[in-house]
């Protein structure tokens, strides 16, 4: 079974209630569809970083995010993860303020997860950053996960969204 690292933005859009006719609303719809239709076909994993981020903010929303994540496997943050995150940041492809994003990518990479699912287009679902970091991960003996958005991981189902 293929594995998917669920980054915080995914669960945030899952429980969000954005205004209709907005991009955020469409992302919410696609996320709900992925969660309901495709999630059962993957081994879904998260990290302590996801739990930390999901617990922040509005208490009701954070409770909903944490409830949605409660059945997922939590991957450990190891020294290899920390070293890889630091290498990603040192490469200059991600700014220092994106440390949490580097940790997400490092956890998924070090634990050899197949996909990293995210709505973070700035630092994670960013082809230029991915291409710059991939050789670094390979030099460290890892294969980077495919970073994608929920709609890209819908598979071959008939989608009416």
Question: Is 159 part of any domain?
Answer: no
Determine the pLDDT at residue 160: 55
Question: Is 100 part of any domain?
Answer: yes
Determine the pLDDT at residue 122: 86
Tens digit of each residue's pLDDT (9 = 90 or more) over 67-121: 999 999 999 999 999 999 999 999 998 999 999 999 999 999 999 999 999 998 8
DSSP 22: S
On the question of pLDDT at 20 being above 90, the answer is no
End-to-end Cα spacing for the chain = 26
Question: Is 62 part of any domain?
Answer: yes
Question: Is 158 part of any domain?
Answer: no
Q: Which residues pair with 75 in a beta bridge?
A: 47
Radius of gyration of the chain (CA): 15
Q: Does 24 or 74 have the greater pLDDT score?
A: 74
Question: Is 161 part of any domain?
Answer: no
Provide the percentage of residues in the chain whose pLDDT is more than 90. Answer: 80
Mean pLDDT of the chain: 93
- How many structural domains does the chain have? 1
DSSP 150: G
Question: Is 56 part of any domain?
Answer: yes
Question: Is 39 part of any domain?
Answer: yes
Q: What CATH number has the domain bearing residue 142?
A: 3.40.50.1010
Q: Which domain holds residue 68?
A: 3-153
On the question of pLDDT at 138 being above 70, the answer is yes
Determine the pLDDT at residue 101: 95
């Amino acid at each position: 079974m293929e594995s998917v690292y669920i980054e915080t933005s995914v669960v945030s859009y899952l429980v969000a209630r954005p205004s209709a006719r907005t991009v955020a609303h469409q992302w919410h719809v696609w996320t709900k569809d992925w969660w309901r239709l495709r999630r059962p076909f993957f081994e879904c994993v998260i990290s302590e970083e996801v739990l930390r981020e999901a617990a922040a903010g509005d208490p009701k929303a954070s409770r909903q995010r944490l409830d949605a994540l409660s059945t997922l496997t939590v991957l450990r943050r190891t020294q290899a993860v920390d070293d890889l995150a630091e290498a990603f940041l040192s490469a200059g492809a991600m700014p220092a303020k994106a440390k949490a994003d580097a940790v997400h990518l490092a956890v998924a990479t070090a634990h050899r997860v197949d996909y990293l699912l995210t709505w973070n287009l700035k630092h994670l679902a960013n082809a230029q950053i991915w291409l710059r970091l991939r050789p670094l991960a390979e030099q460290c003996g890892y294969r980077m996960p495919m970073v994608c958005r929920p709609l890209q991981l819908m598979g071959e189902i008939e989608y009416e969204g």
